[in-house]
Amino acid sequence: MTDEAFYLTPLDIRRMDFKTVMRGYEREAVERFREQVGDELERLTRVNADLEQKARGFHEQLRSFRERDKALNDALVSAQQLRAEMREQAEREAELVLREARADAERLLAAAREQVRKTEEELAALSRLRRTYLAQLRGLVERQLAEVEAAETNEPPVALPGAEGRTESRATPAWLGTVTKE
């Protein structure tokens, strides 16, 4: 039998009327049993209704939990995607900073090389100037030494260029005293 074909209510049991037969059951016992069965069926119907209500509540909670689970899964997927995007962004930014730092380092290195080149050129120019100065100083000292040697030999006075008729003696000046030749 299916549930629909044999669906009894407590009222159906209480109203059920049995035919009386000659050697049948004791009527009072049947009535008591019918009342007990009706009460039990009534209790079971209430329990069943309560259980169905709880089942509906549980189904609703389950639906709510499934929605929350779906929302959490969606949020987790979104967070993972966001993390991946942020990582990619950070890697791109790090690469950009690294490229900029390398470019800055190259510029600084090129500027330092240029400064070294200029400094080397200045040093070479100063070295040339020093050699020129020393050569001029040597020439001046050699001329002065030649004049000193000439003064020691007491040569006659020599006219200096631009002196216009003035002559100077190449004799040893008084402040030099006597100079001895070694």
Domain annotation covers residue 14: yes
Hey, how many other C-beta atoms are within 10 angstroms of the C-beta on 105?
Answer: 10
DSSP conformation letters of 114-134: HHHHHHHHHHHHHHHHHHHHH
> What domain range includes position 38?
10-109
Q: Is residue 174 part of a domain?
A: no
Does the residue 146 lie in any domain? Answer: no
Grade residue 41 by pLDDT with cuts at 50, 70 and 90. confident
Model pLDDT, residue 36: 83
Please state which of the ranges 35-49, 88-102, 104-118 shows the lowest mean pLDDT. Answer: 35-49
| pLDDT (tens digit per residue) in 57-109 | 999 999 999 999 999 999 999 999 999 999 999 999 999 999 999 999 999 99
